[in-house]
Amino acid sequence: MLIIKNSKVDDVKNSEITSEAEYLNRRKFLGKSAVFAASTLVGGSLVLKEQVLNAQTLSTQSARVPAWLGSKVAGSRTELSAGLADATPRNDAEQLTPEEYATAYNNFYEFGTDKEDPARLAGKLTTDPWSVKISGEVAKPGEYTLEDILKPHDFEERIYRLRCVEAWSMVIPWVGFSLEKLLKRFGPTGNAKYVQFITLVRPNEMPGQNSLFSTIKWPYREALRLDEAYHPLAMLAVGMYGKPLPGQNGAPLRLIVPWKYGFKSIKSIVEIRFTEKQPKTSWQSIAAGEYGFYANVNPYVDHPRWSQATERRLPGSLFSSNRMDTRMFNGYGEQVASLYSGMDLKRYY
Ligand SMILES: Nc1nc2c(c(=O)[nH]1)N[C@H]1C(S)=C(S)[C@@H](COP(=O)(O)O)O[C@H]1N2
Ligand SMILES: [Mo]
């Protein structure tokens, strides 16, 4: 059950109304003048819908993944790969986000623009059978079954912060494996400089893709520079909290890039394409001035419409919004800063 609390926005920084979903709903706003008018009264009478989830009454729907995958996820090593231990949040302020929250408060616009839409609707998603097309600048292109993709890899649990560009964050124990190891299996050619990821299009199971109001051009697309993709922190996740990923979190296979804003961590991947030129991402197509290709978490470069200096670590309570300072590269600077040396991160946001 969701308890919806409506509170007045007293502070633009505190607002999730200036969010990614606003773009997807823009035509809806324009069509409903009352809502549109309200959304422009920043700092005044704007109403922020905040969800307080009741952990006891929520149930997690695991996606219907094959049994072999379920047991492989359950048997994953909890030990971290060498060099990853420092990336794990271990202090008291950084406890794991309760599973019931991380699986109920989601951005997955294929299922709708409200935070609770994915958990409500993603149970419909058929994830078995599943296949992933490998294409572009690569020696071994082809259509691979999920089993082909996953079989050679040992799974491990990695606890990462997830920082959404909307200025909320969580701490989630993912189960998965190194992205680099997967990509190298297919033999990227010397021309491959970028890797693009593409989400499933299946409007009969993903109602958000049917929405007349949607401004997103499906499929959802993301991409990384190949050296970013080869960084040991970048992973493909197949599970969380020791179980297969629920549909709302991107079953059966998603990307996790913990030093970048959450929108880079694309869900339910059906194609991985190696390219010479930098691919355009979905969010660049929607608003290039607000969402860049790099999207590294950066408290010193504000979003044009709100500050990125702080974040709300979810779940907050009725007594505290749990606001904390945002860290450069989401706290993973020691590991990843060298990828960007010499780059002007204000320009390459
Ligand atoms: N295909 C797809 N992937 C997506 C999204 C989406 O709408 N569609 N939303 C992104 C955004 S904005 C965030 S913050 C994270 C949220 O991941 P979570 O729901 O597992 O916390 O997923 C990202 N991956
Ligand atoms: Mo996000």
Distance CA 223, CA 221 (A): 7
The count of other CB atoms within 10 Å of the CB of residue 253 is 26
Mind listing the pLDDT tens digit for each residue in 236-279?
999 999 999 999 999 999 999 999 999 999 999 999 999 999 99
Q: b/e per residue, 178-208, with b = 16+ CB within 10 A? A: bbbebbebbebeeebebbbbbbbebeebbeb
- Give me the pLDDT at residue 116, please: 96
What is the pLDDT, as a whole number, of residue 236? 98
135 — alpha (psi -120 to 50), left (phi > 0) or beta?
A: beta
Ligand 1 centroid–CA 249 distance in Å is 7
168 lines ligand 1 (CB under 6 A): no
- Residues 13 and 29: their CA atoms lie apart, in Å, by 21
Atom 19 of ligand 1 has which residue's CA nearest to it? 106
What is the model's pLDDT at position 75?
86
Strand partners, 138: 188
Give 166 Cα–ligand 2 centroid separation in angstroms: 6
Q: Please give the pLDDT value at position 17.
A: 40
Of 168, 267, 291, 311, the one to substitute when testing ligand 1's pocket (max ligand atoms within 8 A of C-beta) is 267
Pairing of strands 310-313, 168-178: parallel
CATH code for the structural domain at 3-340: 3.90.420.10
Question: Which residue has better confidence, 163 or 92?
Answer: 163
- Written as one letter, the residue type at 139 is A
The verdict on whether omega for the bond into residue 66 sits within 30 degrees of 0, i.e. cis, is no
Higher pLDDT, 144 or 157: 144
108 Cβ inside 6 Å of ligand 1 = yes
Nearest CA among 299, 319, 315 for reference residue 307: 299
- Which residue's CA lies nearest to atom 24 of ligand 1? 266
- CA separation for the pair 243, 258 (Å, rounded): 20
* 201, pLDDT greater than 60: yes
CB 73 within 8 A of CB 243: yes
Kindly state the tokens that stand for 150: 């996953």
Q: How crowded is the C-beta side of 327, counted as CA atoms within 13 Å?
A: 15
Cα 324 to ligand 1 centre (Å): 22
How much is the pLDDT for 84? 53
Question: For residue 170, which ligand has an atom nearest its CA?
Answer: 1
Instruction: Evaluate: CB of 21 within 6 angstroms of ligand 1.
Output: no
Q: What pLDDT band is residue 63 in, cutting at 50, 70 and 90?
A: low
Mutational test site, ligand 1, from 100, 107, 214, max ligand atoms within 8 Å of CB: 107
Q: Whose CA is nearest to atom 6 of ligand 1?
A: 108
> Are residues 122 and 247 in contact, defined by beta-carbon separation less than 8 angstroms?
yes
Shortest-distance Cα residue to atom 12 of ligand 1:
263
Position with higher pLDDT, 94 vs 19: 94
Instruction: Give the contacts of 338 (CB within 8 A, at least 6 positions apart).
Output: none
User: What mean pLDDT do residues 38-63 have?
Assistant: 38
Least confident window among 28-42, 232-246, 318-332: 28-42
CB 248 within 8 A of CB 281: no
Cis status, amide bond into 252, omega within 30 of 0:
yes
List strand residue ranges (DSSP E) for 142-297, in order: 142-145, 156-163, 168-178, 194-199, 221-225, 235-240, 243-244, 254-256, 269-275
The predicted structure's pLDDT at residue 95? 84
Ligand 1 mean position, distance from CA 262 (Å)? 6
**Is the distance from CB of 99 to CB of 241 less than 8 angstroms?**
yes
Residue 178 scores a pLDDT above 50: yes
pLDDT of 174 reads 93
Average confidence (pLDDT) over 90-115:
88
- DSSP lists the bridge partners of residue 308 as none
Give the distance (Å) from ligand 1 centre to CA of residue 304.
21
What is the pLDDT, as a whole number, of residue 38?
30
Question: Which is more confident, 44 or 15?
Answer: 15
Q: Which residues pair with 254 in a beta bridge?
A: 237
Encode pLDDT of 122-152 as tens digits. 998 999 999 999 999 999 999 999 999 999 9
Query: Which pLDDT band, with edges at 50, 70 and 90, does 97 fall under?
Result: very high
Query: How many A from CA of 326 to the centre of ligand 1?
Result: 19
Q: What is the model's pLDDT at position 317?
A: 83
Residue nearest to atom 10 of ligand 1 (CA): 263
**What is the rounded (10 degree) CA torsion for 172, 175, 180, 183?**
-120
Is the alpha carbon torsion for 286, 289, 292, 296 positive or negative? negative
The tokens for 213 are: 């109001």
Q: How many CB atoms lie within 10 A of CB 145?
A: 12
106 ligand 1 Cβ < 6 A: yes
Contact 274, 331 (CB under 8 A): no
Q: For residue 15, which of 7, 23, 5 has the smallest C-alpha distance?
A: 7
Mean pLDDT taken over the chain: 83
Q: If you take atom 20 of ligand 1, which residue's CA is the nearest one?
A: 249
Q: Does the CB atom of residue 110 touch ligand 1 within 6 A?
A: yes
Q: Determine contact, residues 22/39, Cβ cutoff 8 Å.
A: yes
Q: Distance from the CA of 107 to the center of ligand 2, in angstroms?
A: 6
> Residue 26: which pLDDT band, with cuts at 50, 70 and 90?
low
Question: What separation in Å is there between the alpha carbon of 268 and the centre of ligand 1?
Answer: 10
What pLDDT digit, counting tens, does each position of 180-196 carry? 999 999 999 999 999 99
Which amino acid appears at position 288 of this protein? A
pTM listed for this prediction: 0.85
